[in-house]
């Protein structure tokens, strides 16, 4: 029986694009800024395995604008519960830039999906990941300037994708996949860090 807390597990990719407003914005790059305080969530990442059957099956990383990072580990993990660490300003800038500069904010699942399906039909050798994890990455920006567009206040993007790393290996030229996969690897490093402080 599956009790998947993330209801988007059904689709291999679901994108939500929401807008909200932030204050105290500081530009980190020309294309974006984010609220630099530890009340504002800038990036949230979760990883939900397909085969794991548990009420609490997702590892969740929440990155705040002030650099605070809170990681939730599933109940029965080798490491379980909530832990805390931090990123420096440059590390956080790099993380957000990895996502934004690779056009993750413009990520269009239908375009990638169609291109994937088209390519697959021309190839005899296929790839498949059974029990693939569903990775979800949310980005919350105070200001964002889309390519060729006007700067806007408050932009949020949520991307859910199954088998992200293996998909990126198949589509290495896709900038958004590269951004998502690279950012995920950075976040996974945090998950595996041995310099975490448990939260009560």
Choices 85-93, 138-146, 148-156, 163-171; region in contact with other proteins by CB under 8 A: 163-171
Please work out, in degrees rounded to the nearest 5, the angle formed at the alpha carbon of residue 103 by the alpha carbons of 168 and 113: 50
Which pairs with CB-CB distance under 8 Å and at least 24 residues apart come from 110-119? 112/13, 112/171, 112/174, 112/176, 112/177, 113/13, 115/171, 115/174, 116/167, 116/170, 116/171
Phi (first) and psi of residue 67, to 5 degrees = 105, -10
The answer to whether residues 161 and 134 touch, using CB atoms and an 8 Å cutoff, is: yes
Choices 84-92, 93-101, 112-120, 136-144; region in contact with other proteins by CB under 8 A: 112-120
Per-position x/- string for 141-160, each x denoting binding to other proteins as judged by CB under 8 A, each - no binding: --------------------
Per-position x/- string for 79-108, each x denoting binding to other proteins as judged by CB under 8 A, each - no binding: x-----------------------------
Q: Does 127 bind other proteins (CB under 8 A)?
A: yes
Q: At closest approach, how far in Å is the CB of 5 from other proteins?
A: 9
Interaction with other proteins in 45-74: which residues (CB under 8 A)?
47-54, 57-59, 73-74
Q: Does 175 bind other proteins (CB under 8 A)?
A: no
């Amino acid at each position: 029986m599956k009790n998947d807390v993330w209801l988007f597990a059904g689709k291999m990719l679901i994108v939500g694009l929401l807008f909200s407003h932030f204050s105290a914005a500081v530009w980190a790059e020309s294309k974006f800024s984010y609220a630099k305080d530890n009340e504002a969530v800038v990036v949230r990442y979760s990883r939900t395995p397909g085969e794991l059957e548990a009420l609490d099956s997702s590892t969740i990383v929440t990155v705040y604008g002030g650099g605070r990072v809170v990681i939730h580990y599933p109940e029965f993990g080798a490491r379980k519960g909530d832990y805390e660490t931090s990123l420096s300003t440059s590390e956080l800038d790099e993380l957000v830039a990895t996502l934004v500069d690779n056009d993750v904010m413009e990520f269009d699942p239908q375009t990638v999906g169609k291109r994937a399906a088209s390519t697959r039909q021309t190839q005899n050798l296929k790839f498949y990941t059974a029990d693939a994890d569903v990775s979800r990455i949310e980005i919350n920006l105070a200001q964002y300037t889309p390519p060729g567009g006007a700067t806007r206040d408050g932009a949020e993007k949520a991307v859910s994708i199954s088998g992200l790393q293996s998909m990126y290996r198949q589509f290495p030229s896709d900038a958004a996949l590269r951004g998502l996969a690279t950012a995920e690897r950075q976040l996974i490093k945090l998950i595996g860090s041995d310099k975490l402080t448990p939260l009560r």
